Amino acid sequence: MKNLVDKLLQKHMLEKDEFVALINGFNEITTEYLHEKSREVSKKYFGNKIYVRGLIEFTNYCKNDCYYCGIRRSNNRVERYRLNFDDIMNCCKNGYELGFRTFVLQGGEDLSYRDEDIVNIVSSIKKLYPDCAVTLSIGEKSYESYLKYHKSGADRYLLRHETSNELHYKKLHPDELTILNRKRCLLDLKEIGYQVGTGIMVGSPFQTVENIVEDLIFMKELNPHMIGIGPYIPHHDTPFKDEKAGNLNLTLFLIGILRLMFPNALIPATTSLGTVDPNGREKGILAGANVVMPNLSPVNVRKKYQLYDNKICTGEEAAECRECLNNRMKKIGYEIVVDRGDFIQI
């Protein structure tokens, strides 16, 4: 196992069966060795700096019906909300004062925001805060829409591929959603010039080790700038309510693998990691992650953006979240910095 970790460190890639062996055989000793290396790599590129992104969950309306997601369209128990232009600009104002230099606009696929609305929001943020990056995470759109958003100033786009295996994809999504279109979107985004993020849920229902390995291989081909992975967590009002949550240690192991595969990538320690373990985000950083994404949404809507059960940080003001994360990072020897935190080509 140590040889495989060493090979991954040197070559940033393994053969398919080597990945399978590494993941199948993961244990405490391998994990410790892997994380020693992944932490070193992370330190080499980022020192003890942690980049911070202000997450604005601006709508929980969604036209999609992903079987795992708490805000899927068929969940009629969700109290739906959308933030208007002024609400979003207020989140940014608050965030800017708190030292955020990246705003992530995330939401369900809500068609009531037309392309012109997104363009207006993005260009207004960029005009008021030219030193900030804007990241969009609003799902699958046409090439033309992505291009319009990019021209209006959007710098980055997050779109997890969820699983690159077609059969597995079908088990997680209704027929109108396809992995083909998801991949088309990711390629379009790259071609247009976005910094692109993708990723998976670890332990999503029906996921096999082979599926995870296919995901690693797909990610190598795509070569994203950002990679977000977190454990799958069930939501009580979805068809997958009785499925079990993804494993914390496997998620941390995979963060270590991804850091060795993509030494300079931006990898967040996700909210779902913090949900399955009170120190999940700290553990994510110590496994090789280098980004945290506290919530900037108004407190009165936070509980309504419930992708999964028991999501953390739904009761605090943005300033409290920021302060809390500052302290958490300091405790493990890292420091959140005021910086756009762009991807740097090496």
Binding site for ligand SAM (CB under 6 A): 68-69, 106, 108-109, 137-139, 159-160, 162, 201, 230, 232-233, 235, 272, 307-308
β-strands 133-137, 195-198 pairing: unpaired
Comparing CB distances to ligand SAM, the nearer of 1 and 312 is 312
Distance in Å, CB of 108 to ligand SAM, minimum: 5
Comparing CB distances to ligand SAM, the nearer of 152 and 204 is 204
Helices (H), the chain: 2-11, 16-24, 28-46, 85-97, 115-128, 143-151, 166-172, 179-192, 209-222, 248-261, 271-276, 280-286, 299-302, 318-331
Distance in Å, CB of 206 to ligand SAM, minimum: 14
- The candidate with the shortest Cα–Cα distance to 308, out of 116, 69, 109, 115, is 69
Query: Distance between CA atoms of 267 and 185, rounded to whole angstroms?
Result: 20
Residues in the chain: 346
Comparing CB distances to ligand SAM, the nearer of 136 and 287 is 136
Distance in Å, CB of 221 to ligand SAM, minimum: 19
Comparing CB distances to ligand SAM, the nearer of 139 and 256 is 139
Comparing CB distances to ligand SAM, the nearer of 272 and 295 is 272
* In the block, residue with structure tokens 């069930």: 234
> Are the C-beta atoms of 288 and 40 separated by less than 8 Å?
no
Distance in Å, CB of 323 to ligand SAM, minimum: 25
> Are the C-beta atoms of 2 and 30 separated by less than 8 Å?
yes
Distance in Å, CB of 177 to ligand SAM, minimum: 9
> Are the C-beta atoms of 233 and 275 separated by less than 8 Å?
yes
Distance in Å, CB of 229 to ligand SAM, minimum: 9
Comparing CB distances to ligand SAM, the nearer of 137 and 195 is 137
